[in-house]
Structure 1
Amino acid sequence: MFVRKKLNKSGKISIQVIQKLNGRNKVVKTIGCSNNAGVVEKLFLEGKEWINRLSGLQEFSFSSHKQELHQFIAGIESLTVIGIEKLLGKLFDEIGFGKVKDQMFRHLVLCRLVYPVSKLKTVDYLSKYHGLCIDINSVYRYMDKLHSKQKEAIQDISYAHTCEVLKEPLNLLFYDVTTLYFEIEQEDDLRKPGFSKDGKHSNPQIVLGLLVTQQGYPVSYSIFEGNKYEGHTLMPIIVSFEHKYHVEKLIVVADAGMLSKDNIRELKARGFEYILGARIKNESEEIKQAILSRELQNGQSCVLLNKENSDRLIVTYSSARAKKDAHNRRKGLDRLKTQIKNGQLTKKHINNRGYNKFLKIENEVKVSLNEEMITLDAKWDGLKGYLTNTGLAANFIVESYQNLWNVEKAFRIAKSDLKVRPVYHRAQRRIEAHICITFAAYKIYKELERQLKIKKAGLSPEKAIEIAKTIQKITVTHPLSDHTVSKMLILTPEQQNLANLFDF
């Protein structure tokens, strides 16, 4: 059998399936007729398809490779990014965030990891690269719902998964704070100017407190007014965490910014143990003399009893830290010398902020460096103190405190990779929803980091996400049968490696 084009008297072309019998052509089937060249070609191909189906053949039969290619391209319905869902969506579900049934939460969290921008630009991204049409107002409505009904559940999910992964009680936790500024001038009850860790002292801000495990997994967070002293943020989040999860023998690790008599008193009263950075230069003269008299060498430590509160004060010495302390002081002093020389310093600069503590006034007019204070300060180079009420070994105390960098890393990733700030929302409920979305995104980041390490992938989370962003799905509709198929495109060795690692 074959397909024939027959010109009719009307000027139209009929497409017929012909079978030759006994030397004569017999019309088996008329596919259709048209005077449009494009339609005629389509009918012609349908005729060939009809013959193939009748004879049991399953392959396409185009008249040329070029025509086949054009037909394929014409049938492409969409090309969307699928790698993000395959990689991060899988982790999202494994953690348990899929229990939050709103798909909007999934979209916002995954986008925060891949394309951390404003919510308006997020909607645009989802439309262009994922084929999702989402109204920006529905995003804002969902954020209101997230704040009122889901944010506590999200922290619970993160906590439960972390317990499952670590297979041990979470009784050693690390706490620190950072500040998040807003691109506005008007302050309110939450957003207030204060000491900014981003150097944005004139911008209203909020204070964000974060609790993480020794491995850096986030388990809880809290938001405070922008002008709140960071030491006053410790007890509310610790007490809330202990009450919520009933953790026994909780040990809190925090830096010297949390060290205050009130905090120590309340920590003890509530039965908490702690490891805090100590301000050894502010200790009593008796303790300071005891520290300096030890003349510690590199790697050595000493343990002293703080008579005021019966805590142990552990002091270590590091030659590397001593070099760093001396270097930083030289830089600060060089800057002060330049300012003195240029007449930029006056009596108003005499304070204890930074290296200004080395300034003094001569004859109530001249500002100069206090060489005696500089010499005294150099004696403390390389010394670091830790205050604790635990009975743990001194080396464990020091090692535990050094893990505070995990909180600093969390803040760094949240600010640089996840772009948690600057924050453009105005309503407090949406600010809190924004922080919650970032918290969930960071939890997925840490789970990705953990699994990459277990799999010995040799990839950073950032690199894995970059590869996932290049994996696409193509959807094609057959030009004749209208049958639609989709296919994930794995085109490079690194894409294939990622797919193998995470089994997609």
Structure 2
Amino acid sequence: IPVIDDFKQRFGLDDFIVVADSGFMIKRNIGLLRSGGYQFIVGGRIKKVAKDVEQWIQSIPHEDGQYHEKKLENGDRLIVTYSSKRAAKDAYNRNKGVERLRKAYASGKITKDKINKRGYSKFLKIDNDVSVCICEEKIKEDEVWDGLKGYVTNTSLPPSEVVAQYKGLWVVEKAFRISKGTLETRPVFHFTEKRIEAHVCLCFVAYKVYKELERIIGTLGLKISVDTVIKIAKTITTIRLRLPLNDEIITRTMMLTPEHRSLMPLFDHLGV
């Protein structure tokens, strides 16, 4: 909350809504937001709700593009959507996980090192700490949730806007992924405050350049990612020649392969 308060004050924000994934959805966190008078949109843990809410969720028709809303006892709004694409993904991931279980425990025995395995091990039923089998009933129970996604909010925004704002989290997640991966912001191999700040500043500037390149690629309609552009650009050679008679310098960029030539619109736009 102090971080949020400081952020809101520094940037003069009046209309401020906290958006977070379902990992944030614990009573303490939500309570802190309420105590601070903040509005929020968080991913709902729809598999861990009261029985009447669960029955309502299960009664929702499986139709794409529909928003279903229910008022919770504490005054929050629960919005649930269904996606056939998400349902297919959920089923695929579960089947893939269960198939790994079938192979791993084909002998019907479980070893000590696998007892605390997470993920799809929830479909295992363990008897006497040694015998193990796939619990088909639990698989069936899990199937009824395929394609369903919940969102909890105390705002008055329309359901479509609530879902749209939540889906925008991928931008933040991608920013962290690029910063930690492509730009190697972490780990930090510096020890003095000045050098650490300089490192983070350079990485931030690099991220800004990355995003600007991404914007230009989109504007030009190129079906290519920034990472791919960088990878290809590293293989392009530029030759500089100085003419002996008049000292004129001639620069030529060698576009030798089809991949190189695919970047021509980008190079022309940047005046390279």
Q: For each residue in 1:144-172, what CA deviation from the matched residue of structure 2 results, as whole angstroms up to 9, or x when unmatched?
A: xxxxxxxxxxxxxxxxxxxxxxxxxxxxx
Q: 1:484 Cα shift? A: 6.0
Match in the other structure for 1:328:
93
Cα separation, partners in 2 of 1:256 and 1:352, compared to 1, 3 Å: farther
How many angstroms apart in 2 are the aligned matches of 1:393 and 1:452?
33
> How much has 1:280 moved relative to structure 2?
0.6
Asked if the contact 2:44–2:152 (Cα under 8 Å) also holds between the matched residues in 1, the reply is yes
- Residue in structure 2 matched with residue 276 of structure 1 by the alignment: 42
Distance 1:375 1:274 in 2: 33
Aligned to 2:81: 316
Higher relative contact order (CA 8 A, sep 6+): 1
Indicate which of 31, 52, 60 corresponds to 1:265. 31
Larger Rg: 1
Q: What CA distance in whole angstroms lies between the structure 1 residues aligned with 2:200 and 2:139?
A: 43
Structure 1 position 446, deviation (Å): 0.8
State the alpha-carbon separation in 2 of the partners of residues 503 and 395 from structure 1: 42
By how many angstroms is 1:385 displaced? 0.5
Q: 1:244-259 to 2 correspondence within 5 Å? A: 244-259=10-25
TM-score by length of 2: 0.79
Equivalents in 1 of 2:144, 2:224: separation in Å?
44
1:277 is displaced (CA, Å) by 1.0
> 1:380 and 2:145 equivalent?
yes
* Structure 2 Cα separation of the partners of residues 273 and 467 of structure 1: 45
Distance 1:293 1:347 in 2: 41
Paired residues, number: 265
Q: How well do the aligned residues superpose, as a CA RMSD in angstroms?
A: 3.3
Say if 1:275 and 1:450 are closer, same or farther in 2 by CA, change over 3 A: same
Residue identity in the other structure for 2:75: S
Q: Does residue 489 of the first structure (1) align with residue 252 of the second (2)?
A: yes
2:191 match: 427
In structure 2, distance between residues paired with 1:393 and 1:352:
40
Residue among 400, 403, 406 paired with 2:168:
403
**Does the Cα contact within 8 Å between 2:110 and 2:131 map onto a contact in 1?**
no
Q: Where do 5+ consecutive residues of structure 2 fail to align?
A: 256-260
The CA deviation at 1:263 is 1.9
- Indicate how the Cα distance of structure 1 residues 338 and 352 shifts in structure 2: closer, same or farther if over 3 A, else same: closer
Residue 295 of structure 1 deviates from its aligned partner by 3.9
Cα distance in 2, alignment partners of residues 390 and 476 from structure 1: 66
Q: Please report how far the alpha carbon of residue 384 of structure 1 lies from its aligned counterpart in structure 2 after TM superposition.
A: 0.5
Residue 449 (structure 1) shift: 1.9
- Structure 1 unaligned residues grouped into runs of 5+: 1-234
Name the SS of the counterpart of 1:297 in structure 2: coil
**Whole-Å Cα distance in 1 between the matches of residues 247 and 217 of structure 2?**
35
> What secondary structure, in the 3-state scheme, does the structure 1 residue paired with 2:47 have?
helix
Q: Which amino acid aligns with 1:254?
A: A
> What TM-score do the two structures reach when normalised by structure 1?
0.46
Partner deviation per Cα, 1:427-458 (whole Å, 9 max, x = no partner): 37455644442222111111222234345566
For the pair 1:444 / 2:212, whether they are aligned, the reply is no
Q: CA offsets per residue over residues 293-347 of structure 1, 9 Å max, x none?
A: 234333333101121x321111111122112112211111122222222466246
Contact preservation (8 Å) 2:236, 2:253: no
**C-alpha displacement at 1:261, in angstroms?**
1.8
Secondary structure of the corresponding residue to residue 146 of structure 2? coil
Q: Give the CA deviation at 1:254.
A: 1.9
Amino acid at match of 1:368: C
| Residues in 2 aligned to 1:336 and 1:497: alpha-carbon distance in whole angstroms | 50
2:106 maps to 341
1:355-396: CA deviations, max 9, x gaps?
122222224542223332222111111110111111111112
> Cα deviations across residues 15-44 of structure 1 (Å, max 9, x unaligned)?
xxxxxxxxxxxxxxxxxxxxxxxxxxxxxx
